């Protein structure tokens, strides 16, 4: 299969949801409340075929492997990372870090994961655990980062280690401390920031997204000032346009007063 469009460039990113099961109880996602059989997954063989087709269209593209929790089904992850590595495709494995022991860290580093992205919403254990809905989550994910670093150094591999944080009322005022913790104490390669979005797979009716309404950043100017300080202090090279878009997003929610609708 080849990209035949004469007007559109080929896609540069491919996303796979590798399973529909999770061991976290995140406040920002209600997917863990859904029946496990609610989503029929593509077979591994079909996923590999799609990766082959994608590589023909976009030889320098990126494949992202996400799920409810990817590493609950490693048999669906590592065949895909190995194929990506063989084809020269960049790939990213998203995880909450809870299942990364020394053996799993070795597997991720040795079996083709180009980048491992781990969720961490705060440098304070109580805040992170509260947002993830499960005590002990902070200890698990910080241990996972350290194990991945050790495995990478032990084998001389180039696997990137990223930490993902969701900006919300509970953490944005402490973004400088979070960057310090992630980049210097944990030694991750990057801290990726995302804004709080309406609660994913919310089972309640529209108009009942209380977590989103209560935790979306209320002062977008203060958030922007914090982002600028982090940019200057840590040399993040943040795009000023992105900061303006973050302000616009939060301002529109505040001015319309409809956050409860999600």
Please report the domains of the chain, with CATH numbers, ordered by start residue. Answer: 13-200 (3.20.20.70)
Q: Give the chain's mean pLDDT.
A: 93
pLDDT score of 173 more than 90: yes
105: tokens are 């860290």
Mean pLDDT is highest, among 38-47, 163-172, 204-213, for 163-172
Residue 250: pLDDT band (50, 70, 90) is very high
What's the rounded Cα separation, in Å, for the pair 14 and 30?
24
Exposure of 168 by Cβ count < 10 A (0-12 exposed, 13-18 middle, 19+ buried)? Answer: buried
β-strands 190-195, 13-17 pairing: unpaired
Alpha-carbon gap, residue 240 to 230, rounded angstroms: 13
**Per-residue pLDDT at 7:** 77
* H-run or E-run covering 132: helix 125-132
Q: Which residues contact 219 (CB under 8 A, 6 or more apart)?
A: none
pTM: 0.93
Between vectors from CA 96 to CA 209 and to CA 211, what angle results, nearest 5°?
15
Going by pLDDT thresholds of 50, 70 and 90, the confidence category of residue 204 is: low
Judge contact between 122 and 174, C-beta under 8 A. yes
Tokens of 220: 């977008």
DSSP structural state of residue 29: B
Report yes or no: 70 and 94 within 8 Å, Cβ to Cβ.
yes
Q: At what angle do helices 125-132 and 137-155 cross, to 10 degrees?
A: 100
Q: Count CA atoms closer than 13 A to 239's CA, side-chain side.
A: 5
How is the chain split among helix, strand and coil, in percent rounded to 5? 50, 15, 35
Looking at residue 30, its pLDDT comes to: 84
Q: Which tens digit of pLDDT belongs to each residue from 77-106?
A: 999 999 999 999 999 999 999 999 999 999
Question: Is residue 37 predicted with pLDDT exceeding 70?
Answer: no
Cα–Cα distance, 148 to 67 (Å, whole number): 20
Task: Count other Cβ atoms within 10 Å, centred on residue 91.
Answer: 25
The beta strands (E) that lie in the chain are given as 13-17, 62-66, 90-95, 115-119, 160-167, 190-195
- What CA–CA distance (Å, rounded) separates 138 from 124? 8
Contact 140, 97 (CB under 8 A): yes
Tokens of 120: 């961490």
């Amino acid at each position: 299969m080849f990209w035949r469009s004469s007007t559109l460039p080929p896609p540069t990113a491919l996303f796979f949801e590798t399973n529909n099961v999770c061991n976290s109880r995140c406040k920002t996602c209600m997917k863990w409340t859904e029946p496990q059989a609610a989503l029929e997954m593509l077979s591994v063989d079909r996923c590999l075929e799609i990766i082959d087709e994608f590589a023909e269209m976009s030889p320098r593209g990126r494949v992202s492997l996400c799920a409810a929790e990817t590493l609950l089904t490693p048999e669906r992850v590592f065949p895909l990372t190995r194929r990506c590595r063989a084809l020269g495709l960049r790939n990213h494995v998203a995880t909450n870090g809870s299942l990364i022991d020394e053996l799993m860290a070795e597997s991720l580093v040795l079996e083709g994961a180009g980048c491992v992205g781990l969720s961490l919403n705060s440098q304070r254990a109580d805040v992170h655990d509260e947002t993830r809905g499960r005590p002990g989550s902070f200890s698990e994910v910080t241990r996972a980062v350290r194990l991945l670093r050790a495995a990478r150094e032990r084998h001389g591999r180039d696997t990137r280690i990223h930490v993902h944080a969701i900006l919300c009322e509970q953490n944005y005022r402490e973004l400088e401390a979070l960057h310090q913790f992630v980049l210097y104490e944990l030694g991750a390669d990057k801290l990726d920031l995302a804004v709080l979005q309406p609660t994913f797979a919310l089972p309640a009716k529209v108009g009942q997204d209380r977590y989103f309404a209560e935790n979306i950043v209320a002062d977008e100017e203060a958030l922007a000032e914090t982002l600028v300080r982090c940019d200057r202090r840590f040399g993040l090279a943040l795009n000023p346009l992105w900061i303006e878009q973050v302000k616009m997003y939060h301002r529109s929610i505040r001015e319309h007063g409809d956050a409860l609708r999600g």
